[in-house]
Amino acid sequence: MSSVYTFGVRTGQASAMIDITSKVQDIIEDSGVKNGICIVFIPHTTAAVTINENADPDVVRDFLMEMNKIVPFSDGYRHMEGNSAAHIKSSMMGFSETIIIEDGRLLLGTWQGIYFTEFDGPRIRKVHVKIIEG
């Protein structure tokens, strides 16, 4: 069995990390798949997905602060839309994550969560989740 599910994410700032772990877990439960893999894919060039700690909100703050130091919003970029930093950050982060499903649950570490990362908001975005049973 292989299914694709899509859900929306509304972002409120230029840069944000939104924990989507529970939404992805709900999709897995609704699918009825007990064992397999889950692929989370972001179909945007200025947003991404990552897995990181979801226990301490300061991790998100620190993460975004450092990303903005590494790739500042304004740095003499030539892209006419003015969002080159967002494109660079998204490519650095990546557009997909693959997570094992075991006994109907995401096989994440104790402190891990799945984050939608926004670098060109606020916007309404899409997240695709593909579940492959096996």
Copy the structure tokens of residue 56. Answer: 């301490």
pTM attached to this predicted model: 0.94
The predicted structure's pLDDT at residue 88: 95
Distance CA 60, CA 50 (A): 11
Tokens 């509304």 locate to 10
The predicted structure's pLDDT at residue 2: 63
User: Which domains, ranges and CATH numbers included, belong to the chain?
Assistant: 2-133 (2.60.120.460)
- Per DSSP bridges, beta strands 47-53 and 105-106 are unpaired
Hey, how many other C-beta atoms are within 10 angstroms of the C-beta on 70?
A: 10
Whether 112 contacts 53, CB under 8 Å:
yes
Helix (H) / strand (E) containing 7: strand 2-10
- Per DSSP bridges, beta strands 2-10 and 47-53 are unpaired
The predicted structure's pLDDT at residue 82: 80
∠ Cα 35 37 38 (to 5°):
120
Copy the structure tokens of residue 44. Answer: 């945007």
- 53 by DSSP, 3-state: which? strand
Q: What is the pLDDT of residues 61-112, one digit of tens each?
A: 999 999 999 998 888 888 988 889 999 999 999 999 999 999 999 999 999 9
Q: What is the pLDDT of residues 22-68, one digit of tens each?
A: 999 999 999 999 999 999 999 999 999 999 999 999 999 999 999 99
Whether 36 contacts 132, CB under 8 Å:
yes
Q: What are phi and psi of 23, to 5 degrees?
A: -65, -45
